[in-house]
Amino acid sequence: MLFWTMSFIEILILRRLRGGPAHGYELRQRVEETTGVRLNNNSLYPALRRFEEAGAVTKTTQPQPGGRPARLVYTLTDTGRELLHDMLADLPAEHAGDEFEFITRLGQFSLISPAEREQVLGARARAVRERLAHLRRMRDQADASGERWGAIVVAELIHRYSSELAWLADLTTLVHRDDPAEPLARPDAREQP
Note whether 16 and 83 are same-domain residues.
yes
The answer, yes or no, to whether residue 179 has pLDDT greater than 80, is no
- Distance, in Å, from the CA atom of 13 to the CA atom of 54, rounded to the nearest integer, reads 15
pTM (2 decimals)?
A: 0.82
Q: How would you write 62-121 as a 3-class SS string? A: ECCHHHCCCEEEEEECHHHHHHHHHHHHCCCHHHHCCHHHHHHHHCCHHHCCHHHHHHHH
SS3 59: strand
Note whether 117 and 79 are same-domain residues.
no
Q: Residue 28: which CATH number?
A: 1.10.10.10
HSE on the CB side for 159, CA within 13 Å? 9
Note whether 84 and 21 are same-domain residues.
yes
Q: What mean pLDDT is predicted for residues 17-45?
A: 90
Query: Residue 78's domain spans which residues?
Result: 8-89
- Within a domain: 106: no
Bigger pLDDT: 64 vs 18: 18
